[in-house]
Structure 1
Amino acid sequence: MLRATVKLSHDDSTATGFILTPDDGKSFLLVTANHVLANTKGNETTIVYRSKIAEGEYKKLPTKIIIRNDETPLWTKHPSEDVAVILVTPPEGADLALISTELLATDDALKQHEVHPGREMTFLGYPHREEASEAGFPILRMGPLASYPLLPTQKTKTYYVNANIFSGDSGGPVYTSLADTGDESTDKVPMITGVIHGQRFVHNTVKGDYITVKTHHQFGLAIVVHASFIIETIGLMK
């Protein structure tokens, strides 16, 4: 997943996305949060891929992508949830792991693999534009799943992970390992359970005789949109 996650860079903002490949192996889909692309000004943004020079040595491979034709968005957004998908063409030499769309968690998969509160969830992002290395890899963090019930996802829509996220993390993938299912063939296979939407805040208003101050503080909860809505968004693409 680290090798499939990319930075979305623009003059005014930075966010996260991840590349999925349908079973045909010929198409590449960038998944991110819809608000990331909607809030990006202009007709283009930059995807920061990476190329491998030698073992353990990589360099950034920034590539422009057109996201609008004048004012017409070229991405597909989910009708109600914060999910966006757009077809991309990675540049030649991009070091990109092929992550199948089949790894997106359906309700049946969540039930089958007994995903429950306390399950360790992994997520990738670029908090405050930070990178894990000069090569531009995302930063990996973890936290327990903090919501119940999860199902049906059409009703719950989002879930919490007990972790702080920051500006730049939006659009990043959230996934869990299938290693604890007992099937050795799935030990290294991730199940993508969602995309990062945002975080919860605590809002306070302090009133004095001559001034009123409004503050907000991190609640320590990441808000994640279920992967079932990514599947629906891909299904809506032309």
Structure 2
Amino acid sequence: MKSFLFSFCGALALFASPLSAAEHAEAMMRATFKLFNKDSTATCFLMRDGADVYVVSAAHTFEKASGETSILVLREADKEGAWKRQDKTITIREGERALWTKHPKEDLAVMRVVLELPEGATLPLDALKADGFPRFGDPVMLLTYPARVEANGAGFPLARKAVVASFPAEPMEKHPEFIIDATAWDGDSGGPVFIDAGKGKPQIVGLVTARINHVENITSERETRKIETPMGLSKALAAPVILETIRLAKSTVEVPASDR
């Protein structure tokens, strides 16, 4: 009987694991969006702190975007359960004045927005890992728009698995970057790196910032060429940097972007 119960419980665990993974990944997916204009395409996610909602992405996402607006690709399900894409224009600048808040040292920025949002489109601040790095060797997931590709016409991101590839040699306060074994593409910057926090909830452990390439300079008689080959590795910033930047944004006077 004990053997039977052990086998039965083990089988239940095997079947329950994918369900749990699907729940936390779906919760993260609902809060992850494409952010783009004609000069910048990237990934972002939405965090809420009380009544305030913040777009979180890599700082270069905002800096490379030209003009005063970008498009945030929202989604909402209709009564029949079909998801519809909802492009929203958000204001990122007023003239030359940036409306986002950049971390003083790192490639990360947040911007407060005032938008009518579908249910589940934001995650609370306690979804962020508040201290330190994710553990070396731990499996993680990321949600992004590699090469600007959307999963479908509704504008959902694509999911990939990776592991934390770097062991932290310094305290996070001195060096908040870590490496994952996934190739970042244009459009991936700002995508969340996350794990399963249990009970169907994600825990955000970082944010994708850059691809790591092997660089070769090849010189011939007539020319010199620089060849960059993706190594299957990407840089990410640890989640406490996101929390720091949101707190910095709250302490500054901002003009929120409104929906159109």
SS in structure 1 of the partner of residue 179 of structure 2: strand
**Partners in 2 of 1:168 and 1:122 — Cα distance?**
16
**Residues 49-88 of structure 1 correspond to what in structure 2 (within 5 A)?**
49-88=74-113
**Partners in 2 of 1:78 and 1:200 — Cα distance?**
22
Counterpart position of 1:103 = 127
Counterpart position of 1:228 = 240
Which deviates further from its counterpart, 75-84 or 143-152?
143-152
**Partners in 2 of 1:147 and 1:7 — Cα distance?**
28
Shift of 1:89: 2.2
Match of 2:229 among 210, 217, 235: 217
Counterpart position of 2:7 = none
Aligned length: 223
In structure 2, relative to structure 1, the CA distance for the partners of 1:231 and 1:151 (3 Å cut) is farther
**Partners in 1 of 2:79 and 2:36 — Cα distance?**
25
SS in structure 2 of the partner of residue 147 of structure 1: coil
**Contact 1:203 1:216 (8 Å CA) reproduced:** yes
In structure 2, the gaps of 5 or more residues are 1-27, 253-260
Shift of 1:98: 3.5
4+ runs deviating over 6 angstroms: none
**Contact 1:150 1:159 (8 Å CA) reproduced:** no
Match of 1:171 among 172, 185, 190: 190
Q: Give the alignment's TM-score, normalised by structure 1.
A: 0.89
Counterpart position of 2:140 = 121
Q: Deviations over 1:5-35 (max 9, x none)?
A: 011121123111000112x2x2211100101
**Partners in 2 of 1:106 and 1:12 — Cα distance?**
33
The share of aligned pairs that are identical, in percent, is: 35
**Partners in 1 of 2:174 and 2:203 — Cα distance?**
21
**Partners in 2 of 1:222 and 1:55 — Cα distance?**
39
Shift of 1:134: 1.1
Q: Give the alignment's TM-score, normalised by structure 2.
A: 0.81
Which deviates further from its counterpart, 209-218 or 61-70?
209-218
Counterpart position of 2:24 = none
Shift of 1:150: 6.6
Structure 1 or 2, whichever has the larger Rg, is 2
**Partners in 1 of 2:145 and 2:52 — Cα distance?**
25
Counterpart position of 1:182 = none
In structure 1, the gaps of 5 or more residues are 179-185
